[in-house]
Amino acid sequence: MSSPSPSDTPADTPPAHGDTPSGVRGLADTAQTLGSSVQAMQQVLLGNLQQAALMTSSMNQMMEELVRRSIHTTVEARPAPRGCTLHVTVHNRSPVPLTSLKTTLSFTPRTPVSEPLGLALRGGDAGLFAGVMVDGVFQKTRDCGGEQKEVLVECSVEQGLASGAVCVGEVRVHVGRPVQLGGRVSVGFASPGTGQILSVENHFGIRVAQLMDCSYAADGRVLSDALEGAGTIDIDLATARSVFAIPPAQGVSPGGVLSASFDEDRVLLRVISVSDDQQSALCRWLKPENNSLLPLVPTLTEELALKSE
């Protein structure tokens, strides 16, 4: 049997110019598939990271709002010579301990100041504002395009507050003369999530009567004429008992006299009649011994008058 001749043996045909071997095409397809898969995974991962960041931000906001709503502050004004004592409490009702807690008291007159007015703040011996001493002056009010600009006088203290803890402090408020004051207690603290400083505020007011020495005399042995033009007013006895320190067991009867004094001056209010339900009393201002406190009569009338519902 004869062997095939060389001319009968098929020769390897070289690939045409521009053609890609099947193995290379397979690798290219695989690389393209892997690239698409990696890109898709990157997009999914990026989406997950963005969603996680959004969830973290939302949780931080919820936690911050929870803490804000859980910080409770109260301010109570108590009588003191030539001013009053503010009893301040800060209660952390949140489950999170607060760090870098900063409590600030700010004051500003509610009415225009015709001349500089001194205001002194003295902290108590312990608790919030312990040892704090601030002396400030409310400058004369100036008309600036209809806006009244007064100088803020403030004092602050920094400390931490554990979860469920209550911090208490007292501040004596001394004024050069009685004037209605607007007050604000602000509590700043670090966010438990981001560390940014957050704050909550509570506004309060101090009456003119709360800055005076007020008392009640049941016998009413006061020789004074009725104040001309002042007329009569219906006062809220609950407010009068608080301002004039009338004990609950002591009755308010016709002929009694309510006295509000500052330094050596005073204004008097005589009780004419008391309502059957003991909720209000008809009173009349008496002529003051001098005129220095006379401008306060309209303000005191507004503070003591029975509010209509």
The pLDDT assigned to 24 comes to: 63
The pLDDT assigned to 220 comes to: 65
The pLDDT assigned to 206 comes to: 92
The pLDDT assigned to 74 comes to: 93
Q: Which two tokens stand for residue 305?
A: 């008058």
pLDDT single digits (tens) 7-56: 555 555 555 555 556 666 666 667 677 777 777 777 777 777 777 666 66
Cα dist from 20 to 11, 12, 29, 65, 258, whole Å: 20, 16, 12, 65, 110
Over residues 184-194, the mean pLDDT reads 85
- In DSSP terms, 149 is beta-bridged to none
Q: Who has greater pLDDT, 224 or 203?
A: 203
Q: Who has greater pLDDT, 179 or 231?
A: 179
DSSP per-residue string spanning the chain: -PPPPGGGSPPPPPPPTT---HHHHHHHHHHHHHHHHHHHHHHHHHHHHHHHHHHHHHHHHHHHHHHHHHEEEEEEEEEETTEEEEEEEEEE-SSS-EEEEEEEEEEEESS--SS-EEEEEEE-SSSBTTT-EEEEEEPPP-EETTEE----EEEEEEEEE-TT-EEEEEEEEEESS---EEEEEEEEEE-TTT--EEEEEEEEEE-SGGGSEEEEESS-----PBPTTT-EEEEEHHHHHHHTT--TTS---TT-EEEEEETTEEEEEEEEEE-TTSSEEEEEEEPPSSSTTGGGHHHHHHHHBPPP-
92: nearest Cα among 206, 196, 194, 198 = 198
pLDDT single digits (tens) 156-165: 778 888 889 9
pLDDT single digits (tens) 120-154: 888 888 888 888 888 888 776 554 443 445 456 67
The pLDDT assigned to 267 comes to: 86
Return the percentage of the chain with pLDDT > 90, whole number: 11
pLDDT single digits (tens) 73-92: 999 988 887 788 999 999 99
pLDDT single digits (tens) 265-306: 888 888 999 998 888 899 988 877 666 888 888 899 888 887
The pLDDT assigned to 143 comes to: 47
What is the second-level CATH architecture of the domain 69-210?
Sandwich (2.60)
pLDDT single digits (tens) 216-246: 988 766 666 777 667 788 998 888 888 888 8
